[in-house]
Structure 1
């Protein structure tokens, strides 16, 4: 390891080493800057699904679930950060998968599977944000244009916002605006629901449901925290990676607090019939105000997903190459091409797959359940075993061993249960004719 300034310490194993003479400098983020990017990436469209989740299971269990998921997400984020600090060469989940599975002779497979899952999850995130942007534009304009036109416009703007090669060059400023956007938009939505509540609404402390219905609703708060798969990439561009736990604290305190406030207030005033996204249950004027204020958040979140999908491949191609850190024609050409491909894939999935919202849920259940929750326990086991005194070190920390085992098992349960619930709801949607047709207005 070598240190070139009092602010940034570099490790030769890192992707972005001493950048003093580089034209493109990646290591620019403070812990506050990283927190803004994390909040933008996580606290977005999923926020609007939480009031309906509470409506399904009831006020008390719904609130408890949101709080529990927030605490759990903070715990697993610390495990991921510790793994990153122990292995500075890790830039994304693929790198982590290589380290995690190498002791079993499956390092290459682990890298490829987790890399592919990260890219797929990011691309479905691009498509989800595009659909949400389309819905917002339709609401604001009262559907004066074809839905595909709105989607095309939104996709092009998302591509332009994602263009900066580093988080600090533009995306940080956009992320600050996005954080303000989600805060103000949801605040306006709560005010609107309080001024014009749903008449004769029903609000209950608990609501009886079948396991399938309840689990389907619970996946919303669980996946609302699903953004840990990008933490490694964000931390790689921090000036001081060891400060990243401060970013995680800021993220989870904000997200958990605001999730609870927004979900409870919205449910209280909109009642058991609240829709998802919840803005659809507001009166026309308040819905337009909320959607309009929410636009920056949706846009920047989509751009971040686009940026992440492209950067994983870009770093894989040019790691230890001058094209990664210099303004070369090849470097910029490949970067723009990768962004365009990720953006185009998101657009095609969003408009060409009529059950895309279910597909997004399936992908999230398959991968986010592991990236945000399950694998964190495995990372702790790996480092405690291989960086310590083998299984002796693991046994000496029995409480952590049990917690990490629970995290691993819970991740698997969310994966299997979430996929079952979403696939079953997709089958029911097809049977009822609720699924539309591809490439239609």
Structure 2
């Protein structure tokens, strides 16, 4: 059963309402009882989803967040400079904590929520339109992200093998590995992969920092080979000539890293005690605050204006580049698996509805699951091959979708939680003002941010672009 179950016949046009109570008593006992009923029902099935402890959820969160995008933050600092860059990073982290707690509080009021689509349904007043629109955004966002990870996997294999095969072959290899790794149905099992993924990304970052510190000079930046643009230097504010579009894309690059909440409702729905999610979140924030700021800052110190995205590309010694970039293949695939799992569950439960195959070890159930997984990775593979610049399209995603999933949704959810008492005390008034700011940030990303992302795509299309299904060497 999904949070928004559909059957293939009578309920095709009507979203089914859960039968559980969604009202919170002052002591939270109603919520606890509802969650206990949901867990008990889930545990009657062959395939049990609500089984994650908060520790496993923390590893799952870390596996999703400790990713290659960290290595693009050095470039963001090189565009924005120390002061705007660090302020944006810290500000994004604070808003991430606040909006995630708001999300958790809203889900505790509606414990039957199973994914971000259900969250949108309840946040916008049980709107079917909001549910379907969120479902479209979920699939579009996740499939393009999986495509980006397929492309990244091809880049890693190109780099390590000195382009020994056509890039399309490497992309197919990454896709097939992703399909096999995505077969586990429960996020509890995926969390074990996440532990290994986070460790490998941590090793890659550590090696990069060591190599960037001991090498004589960077290899290349976007303005030419070293020392075309002079000696390495850092600066407090953007360099003269930096365009507004570049600055906006650097900001989107940072906010993209700090906005993973599209997955959180699914993670919470598979916890045995969703009430413990703030513990998992606290672990994630501690890890993220360090990794999202310290390594990029050290990278900027040694690479300066020669920073690339990812920063591995700036390393001057090819052996250093290969040794550090090699470890990225694990998080690249595992993060793709996480997004595939969340996307597949949305599609799978729309297909299976409340049939016994949805939660049982049947040939039909497993066949449908593997078919959905394979379909998602195949579509993502096509996008990875036909989109000339996945980086620009990720900026587009950050503006078009993260504006909703990182900001607007949670400002609306906050209003739903506290309407009628938004200014009932000093603390509540302060949080209300913060959430008004959250809404404004979301609208800003959706407006000027979207414009900047589109401008960057237009600029890339005006130059030479990579042909579809090309064998072009993508090694960094």
The two structures have a TM-score, normalised by structure 2, of: 0.85
Instruction: Say whether residues 1:214 and 2:244 are aligned partners.
Output: no
Q: Which of the numbers 278, 285, 310 marks the counterpart of 2:319?
A: 285
Q: Which of the numbers 387, 403, 406 marks the counterpart of 2:437?
A: 406
Larger proportion of helix: 1
- In structure 1, the residue matched to 2:80 is 57
Instruction: Say whether residues 1:195 and 2:214 are aligned partners.
Output: yes
- In structure 2, the residue matched to 1:301 is 335
Alpha-carbon contact 2:77-2:300 (below 8 Å) kept:
yes
Cα distance, 1:358 vs structure 2: 2.2
CA distance 1:239–1:43, shift in 2 (3 Å): same
Q: Which of the numbers 200, 218, 230 marks the counterpart of 1:181?
A: 200
Instruction: Say whether residues 1:426 and 2:457 are aligned partners.
Output: yes
Q: Give the distance between the partners of 1:205 and 1:255, measured in 2 at CA.
A: 23
- In structure 1, the residue matched to 2:286 is 253
Q: Give the distance between the partners of 1:10 and 1:120, measured in 2 at CA.
A: 35
Q: Give the distance between the partners of 1:197 and 1:335, measured in 2 at CA.
A: 51
Alpha-carbon contact 1:197-1:270 (below 8 Å) kept:
no
Instruction: Say whether residues 1:121 and 2:141 are aligned partners.
Output: yes
Alpha-carbon contact 1:44-1:298 (below 8 Å) kept:
yes
Cα distance, 1:15 vs structure 2: 6.4
Q: 5 Å matches for 1:128-277?
A: 128-169=148-189, 171-198=190-217, 200-208=231-239, 209-277=242-310
Cα distance, 1:321 vs structure 2: 3.4
Deviations 1:242-297 (A, max 9, x none): 00011111112211211111100111111211111111111211111111122211
Cα distance, 1:17 vs structure 2: 4.4
Q: Give the distance between the partners of 1:223 and 1:340, measured in 2 at CA.
A: 26
Instruction: Say whether residues 1:395 and 2:423 are aligned partners.
Output: yes
Residue 112 of structure 2 aligns to a residue whose secondary structure is coil
Cα distance, 1:86 vs structure 2: 0.9
- In structure 2, the residue matched to 1:333 is 367
Cα distance, 1:410 vs structure 2: 0.7
Segment drifting more, 136-145 vs 321-330: 321-330
- In structure 2, the residue matched to 1:314 is 348
Cα distance, 1:363 vs structure 2: 2.2
Deviations 1:153-210 (A, max 9, x none): 00100111111010123x1211100011111110111001001152631222222433
Alpha-carbon contact 1:162-1:339 (below 8 Å) kept:
yes
Q: Which runs of 5+ in 1 are unaligned?
A: 3-7, 386-390
Alpha-carbon contact 1:23-1:327 (below 8 Å) kept:
yes
- In structure 2, the residue matched to 1:342 is 376
Q: 5 Å matches for 1:346-361?
A: 346-361=380-395
Q: Give the distance between the partners of 1:12 and 1:264, measured in 2 at CA.
A: 43
Alpha-carbon contact 2:49-2:187 (below 8 Å) kept:
yes
Q: Give the distance between the partners of 2:318 and 2:51, measured in 1 at CA.
A: 43
Cα distance, 1:360 vs structure 2: 2.8
Q: Give the distance between the partners of 2:456 and 2:215, measured in 1 at CA.
A: 32
Instruction: Say whether residues 1:18 and 2:41 are aligned partners.
Output: yes
Segment drifting more, 300-309 vs 192-201: 192-201
- In structure 2, the residue matched to 1:438 is 468
Alpha-carbon contact 1:315-1:324 (below 8 Å) kept:
yes
Alpha-carbon contact 2:408-2:438 (below 8 Å) kept:
yes
Q: Give the distance between the partners of 1:240 and 1:12, measured in 2 at CA.
A: 8
Aligned residues: 425
Q: Give the distance between the partners of 1:15 and 1:54, measured in 2 at CA.
A: 45
Alpha-carbon contact 1:203-1:271 (below 8 Å) kept:
yes
Instruction: Say whether residues 1:42 and 2:65 are aligned partners.
Output: yes
Q: Give the distance between the partners of 1:210 and 1:79, measured in 2 at CA.
A: 35
